[in-house]
Amino acid sequence: MARAGRKRKAGERNKAGRLIAIGGSRLDRGTAELRLHRALRAGPLDPAAQRLWQRGRAEEAAAMIGTGDLGQAVDAVGRAWLAGLLAHPVRDGDAMRDAGRVLSKLYWSHYAELAPSGGLYREMVGRGVLRSGAGGDAERAAQLEAALNRRLVVLDDCGRDVRRAVESLCVDHHFEFGPAWLDRLIAACREKRAAGEEDQRRMNAAVLGLAALT
């Protein structure tokens, strides 16, 4: 006699037959250590929280940094946004951050064979921050290339320094740390001291380019 199969779980289901979660999905903010590392990479970390962390009390320290979206620290433009460095008199910082990520998506969709393969890159693909290539679809690939070229023309119109700064912030492979000039700016914000003139010039150029892309 055959064994009875597993009982079907009760509950409302979607069109695909999967159970609909009650109360919506829960946002995974990562471990306490991960959130603290992200806070440290992206900007000011409360001294009291840092002392607790150094004493091995990461859970208590993480509770002090709030529930902000530290997941944005997975790339350089996200860390710049978290640190408040994407300030512009007219453009919205969120829109500028997203414009930088769209540029990165388009660039790495077009140059997919050159894309990095590290864990943080895979995490960003999984979260939708980046996407893989066009999958052999010639028409789709042509659309992505055209969209990329339109944005590069906008940056070229802003000047060489602007394009270089935006590419450094949004296209180059700076997931956990870097570019160095951004790390120095964030450290200056954390320590409440003046930033280096050259680093600030690059940030201003990047902001100008991202504003033009929005």
Tens of pLDDT, residues 66-82: 655 676 878 999 999 98
Length of the chain in terms of residues written = 214
pTM of the full structure: 0.66
Q: Which tens digits make up the pLDDT trace of 7-65?
A: 555 555 554 555 444 444 444 456 877 777 677 766 666 677 778 778 888 887 777 76
- Identity of the residue numbered 3: R
Other C-beta atoms lying within 10 Å of the C-beta of residue 85: 23
Cα–Cα nearest to 144, from 111, 95, 101: 111
Domain residue spans of the chain: 28-68, 72-213
